[in-house]
Amino acid sequence: MVRLTIDSKEIEVAEGTNIIEAARRLGIEVPHYCYHPGLSVAGQCRLCMVELGNNPRPQIGCNTQVAEGMVVRTDTPKVLEVRQSIMEFHLINHPLDCPVCDQAGECWLQIYYMKHGLYEPRMVDEKVHKPKAVPLGPHVMLDAERCILCSRCVRFCDEVTGTGELGIFDRGDRSEIGLFPGRELANPYSANVIDICPVGALTDRDFRFAVRVWYLDTAKSICPGCSRGCNIDVHYNIRRPHHNQGRRVARLKPRFNAEVNRWWICDAGRYGYRFVDDPSRLGAPARGRGDAAQEVGWEEIIPLVTAQLRRYRPDEIGVVASPKMANEDFFLLRRLVDHLGLIHVDFRVPPRTPGDEDRILIKADKNPNTRGAELIGLGPRPGGLDARGMLRAARDRRIKCLWVFHHDLQASAWPAAEVGDALRAVECFIYQGSNSNGVSAAAHYVLPSAAWVERDGTFTNFEGRVQRFWKAVEPLGLSLTDWEILGRLGAALGLGPEPASAEACFKALAASAAPFAGLSYRELRDTGKVLSA
Amino acid sequence: MAEKILTRNFHLPGSHTLALYRETGGYAGLEKAFAMKPAEITEEVKKSNLRGLGGAGFPTGVKWGFLPQGHPGPVYLVINADEGEPGTFKDRYLLERDPHALIEGMIISAYAIGAHLAFVYIRGEYVQPWRIFGRAVAEAYEAGLLGKNIRGSGFDLDVIVHRGAGAYICGEETGLISSLEGKKGWPKLKPPFPAIRGAFGAPTIVNNVETICHVPHIMNRGAAWFAGLGTKSQGGTRMYSVSGHVTRPGVYELPVSATLRSLIYEHAGGIPGGRRLKAVVPGGSSAVLLTADEIDATLDVDGLKNAGTMAGSAGVIVMDETVSIPEALMVVARFYAHESCGQCTPCRESTGWIYKMARRIVEGKGRKEDLDTILDVARRGAGTAICAFFDGAVGPYISYIEKFRHEFEALIRK
């Protein structure tokens, strides 16, 4: 450990820490553009200047490691003057097109100009012109005039993904970010460069011109795209419902978690939210197949489904839960399964094409909560069938009632004919999920679920880390969260009153399932907890 | 006339050949050096007061002393032959007319610092020097002066000749290293300095061609002799590239204790056509401009420093009364705007901005506030960049305006 003084405040930090990070610990912000804790030090923007001891020349904080007894000042007239000068240099060739720039409102040129610039503009000559609106790949759009050449995007592609698509070409004030010949910025993490771009140079082709960022609200969440459980923020727009074609979820952004995803998320996860506001969403409970299908209220469907579950012998009912459901849902489903004495229970449905996996974040299991389903015990009971076994049994009319959560069995690895035969043969097919899919149309009963952004809950990732996600927007239409639906069914089946909240479900889970013992929402905090089991 | 050391063979036909180099006493210094311990050579170079002749004027022996002792991996010697400072053309003469002096100097220097691989980074535009030097290297290999077990000494040295691709910034030692490594020629953050972590991550000493060419002579004739040629703080002679309005432009080798006045008027033949001297750039375009009455300064590093400018690369650009200083500033500013590598913000942005202002003034569209804006931008940017490039540009920006403000104001009033 090294002890030093920053702006007269003493602090002890680990050796090797730089001044920006040491100051951050004291709540002192040393402004910077090119420095990023997840990337190598470039020292290019020259904004993070601080004064060190009696050194008359300010030094950059990013490339200065702390030393015992070091005296750092971040607020001297000299430092303030250098910052102002550097801000002016950053802005002389900037197009100042904030009104039409997507980054406006979250742009570090705007923020730092207001904090550290505020000079009278002196540049009257023609600015340097560079390419604008250049697609670099499927997700990223470049405006080279807005670029401050901090090289974060270049270093990301060199150091994090190792793909090296980007470079800085030409020199002097003609320098610009660009792709190497024949390359495209299409690596599985490409859109992270948008997040780390401190200005409006790299914008999101999916998000740009959709909503002004100051209309967005944020909810902390967990990406449901694979078993990594990357921490994310859901940015949603409900203040200007006429923007973004009425879609409420505007974008997902990575949320730092040192233990899980650090600063990054993959593109598949980032753009995997579109189902939330998709026309395929199931808006109301429904009964009857095909032309006979009719939407009904919950007060009508709950007794109907309850009656079906009571009508069949436990070994005539098959339940295929989904590893996309939350721990809270699993707890209530498990309780219901146990109550009815069902034995054919499973949650594993293999995808048609195996998921891709890499050594960065992406996991082959494209479900957020496989581990939770395993731990809470939603696999086959003794003597029970697995999911494929249930389909075969349904085809042979040994299983008469099939209750499928979320899965599109038609997109599974199993032959379509096998799935089709089973669904045609079964007497009662209950589908519970957020969106219609290849099998939902065959359901006798449709129970519409809220999407993950429409509710609170927890997922358990591949390493057993239980992480909370928070509700961003209201459930669409009449849809209810899975735990509410299961709570209502449970109450109707005589399992006692419906739980009041997701937190109450989790509390009950923690009280009954050993791996979760002692946990609570409070205990999980923002970053989650790894189960000891 | 003072004794010529580096340029003594320049007038001889075949001065670039190994045969002639040997005839005139070449490779004798090497024999002496091999009889010494490496540390003794470094000590001798320290005592000689040899200073880097590429531009920064840093004491050469001290630089060698920065290498980590007992480093387990390789150590490299890099010769900076990327002579790009405007007004400087001395290294070119050395490469073309006495390439074996550089090779001998490299072997001795590599032996002193424990390097077994040396790189010679030659400016891309120097096609002829590259050809001649390349032939000399081949000759040296054939003669057993390079390669394994040189002259039975047990010392190995290989030389890689690398051509640059035409960027001024690659003459900056860390920019040169980046370029040598196959990257864009961007200077590196310091610390770490090259002596600790240089080319390919190994401790590296980067020295200028002329600096290294002095080393065999120091071996041959001793540090005291070399130090005695110069001033208290800088030993030896130096090659001055004189261009512009003089009767005999060219390269002149003089003891560093000579004055700028004697260089211009005695050696280079004074100003032609009876015109008056207006200003002199004494050490390459990055040096502060001297007016006609400031030329009695001595040409050593400290002499020119005391005169408020710098010895730099010893590129002396002489301007007579026909020169428009605002136009000269525009030309210099265009050079720095064109050559700024663009890596860090103050240099990238302000070199272009200052050029635009200087050009506008010359075009008669200057505004009163432009001069102070240029001065303010130059002062604010100074000392804030990764390398010394912008600090070099600040020399002309400020001195041209401060010393000849009336010429600028006359253009702005028009």
pLDDT tens digits for range A314-336: 999 999 999 999 999 999 999 99
Partner-chain residue, chosen from B338, B346, B353, that has the shortest CB–CB distance to A123: B353
Predicted confidence at residue B192, as pLDDT, reads: 94
A533 — pLDDT class (breaks 50, 70, 90): low
| Residues on chain A touching B373 (C-beta within 8 angstroms) | 122
The pLDDT confidence band at residue B1, using thresholds 50, 70 and 90, is low
Whole-number Å distance between alpha carbons of B379 and B371: 12
Q: What is the pLDDT of residues B115-125, one digit of tens each?
A: 999 999 999 99
Taking a C-beta distance cutoff of 8 angstroms, is the pair B194, B172 a contact? no
pTM summary value: 0.95
Quick one: pLDDT at residue A290?
A: 78
What would the DSSP string read from start to end of A146-202?
T-----HHHHIIIIIS----EEEES-GGG-EEEEPTT--S-STTTTHHHHH-SSSSE
Residue whose C-alpha is closest to residue A532's, from A464, A475, A438 = A464
**Nearest alpha-carbon partner for B342 in A42, A190, A163:** A42
User: β-strands A59-60, A9-13: how paired?
Assistant: unpaired
- ipTM tops the 0.90 cut: yes
Which residues of chain A neighbour B350 with C-beta distances below 8 Å?
89
Does the distance separating the beta carbons of B339 and A63 come in below 8 Å?
no
Q: Which residue in A has a C-alpha nearest to residue B186's C-alpha?
A: A171
Residue A492 has pLDDT above 60, yes or no: yes
CATH superfamily, region B18-229: NADH-ubiquinone oxidoreductase 51kDa subunit (3.40.50.11540)
- In this predicted structure, the answer to whether residue A419 has a pLDDT above a threshold of 80 is yes
Quick one: average pLDDT of A182-211? 97
Q: What is the DSSP string of B352-408?
A: HHHHHHHHHHHTT---HHHHHHHHHHHHHHTT-SSSSHHHHHHHHHHHHHHHTHHHH
d(CA A104, CA B179): 38
Give the 3-state secondary structure of A61-72.
Answer: CCCCECCCCCEE
Alpha carbons B85 and B301: distance in angstroms, whole number: 17
Nearest-Cα residue of chain A relative to residue B359: A125
Q: How far is B303 from chain A (nearest CA, A)?
A: 25
Q: Tell which CATH architecture fits domain A122-277.
A: 2-Layer Sandwich (3.30)
Place of tokens 């400018």: B309
Contact B82, B171 (CB under 8 A): yes
Provide the percentage of residues in chain B whose pLDDT is more than 90.
98
pLDDT given at position B245: 98
Cβ–Cβ pairs < 8 A, chains A and B: 92
Report the first-to-last Cα separation within chain B, whole angstroms: 49
**Cβ atoms within 10 Å of B308's Cβ, excluding its own:** 14
* Min distance B185 CA to chain A CA atoms (Å): 10
Nearest residue of B to residue A65 by CA position? B191
pLDDT 10s digits, B351-374: 999 999 999 999 999 999 999 999
Three-state SS at A360: coil
Is pLDDT of A82 > 60? yes
Is the CB of A82 less than 8 angstroms away from the CB of B384?
yes
Three-state secondary-structure class, residue A121: coil
Q: Structural domain boundaries of chain A? A: 2-91, 122-277, 286-530
* pLDDT for position B413: 83
Q: Does residue A97 have a pLDDT over 70?
A: yes
Are A171 and B342 within 8 A, CB to CB?
yes
Q: How far is B270 from chain A (nearest CA, A)?
A: 37
CATH class of the B237-320 domain in this structure: alpha beta
A-chain residues near B168 (CB < 8 A): none
Asked if A412 and A371 touch (Cβ cutoff 8 Å), the reply is no
Question: Taking the CA of residue B97 as centre, how many other CA atoms within 13 Å lie in the half-sphere pointing to its CB?
Answer: 16
Share of chain A above pLDDT 90, in %: 97
How many residues are given for chain A? 533
Q: Domain B325-413 falls in which CATH fold?
A: de novo design (two linked rop proteins) (1.20.1440)
Name the strand (E) or helix (H) holding A102: none
Helix (H) or strand (E) holding B216: helix B209-221
Q: B345, B370, B384: which to substitute to probe chain A, counting the most A Cβ within 10 Å? A: B345
* Tokens (6 digits) for B180: 């040598």
- Inter-chain residue contact B340 with A93, CB threshold 8 Å: no
Q: Report chain A residues whose CB lies below 8 A from the CB of B374.
A: none
Chain A neighbors of B337, CB-CB under 8 A: 172-173
Mean per-residue pLDDT over chain B, rounded: 97
Q: Domain residues of chain B, as ranges?
A: 18-229, 237-320, 325-413
CATH architecture of A2-91: Roll (3.10)
Rounded mean pLDDT, B36-42: 96
Q: Which of residues 31-90 of A touch B (CB under 8 A)?
A: 41-47, 49, 57-58, 63, 81-82, 85-86, 88-90
Check CB contact of A384 with chain B, cutoff 8 Å: no
Question: Considering only CB atoms, which chain A residues are within 8 Å of B342?
Answer: 149, 168, 170-175
Q: What is the mean pLDDT of chain A?
A: 97
Q: Which two tokens stand for residue A305?
A: 């489904």
Whether the CB-CB separation of B292 and B277 falls below 8 Å is answered with yes
When scoring A39, A46, A62 by the number of chain B Cβ atoms within 10 A, the one with the most, hence best to mutate, is A46
Closest residue in chain B to residue A44, using alpha carbons only: B344
Determine the pLDDT at residue A532: 83
Flag whether pLDDT at B110 surpasses 60: yes
User: With 90 as the cut, is the pLDDT of residue A291 above it?
Assistant: no
Write out the DSSP string of B15-70: TTSHHHHHHTTTTHHHHHHHTS-HHHHHHHHHHTT-B-SSSS--BHHHHHHTSPTT
Residue B414 has pLDDT above 90, yes or no: no
Backbone φ/ψ region at A406: left (φ over 0), alpha (ψ -120 to 50), beta: left
Q: Which residues of chain B lie closer than 8 angstroms to A128, CB-CB?
A: 352
Show which of residues 149-188 on chain A sit within 8 Å of chain B, judged by CB atoms: 149, 167-168, 170-175
Q: Do B342 and A45 touch (CB under 8 A)?
A: no
Region B257-285 average pLDDT? 97
Q: Would you identify the CATH topology of the domain A286-530?
A: Rossmann fold (3.40.50)
Instruction: Tell whether the torsion through CA atoms of A240, A243, A246 and A247 is positive or negative.
Output: negative
CB-nearest partner of B346 from A86, A122, A124:
A86
The DSSP 8-state label assigned to residue A516 in this structure reads G
Among chain A residues, CA nearest to B342: A172
Q: Please enumerate in sequence order all residues whose Cβ is within 8 A of that of A488, keeping only pairs 6 or more positions apart, or say none.
A: A298, A302, A480, A498
> Do the beta carbons of residue B186 and residue B192 sit within 8 Å?
no
Q: Residue B2 — pLDDT band, cuts 50, 70, 90?
A: confident
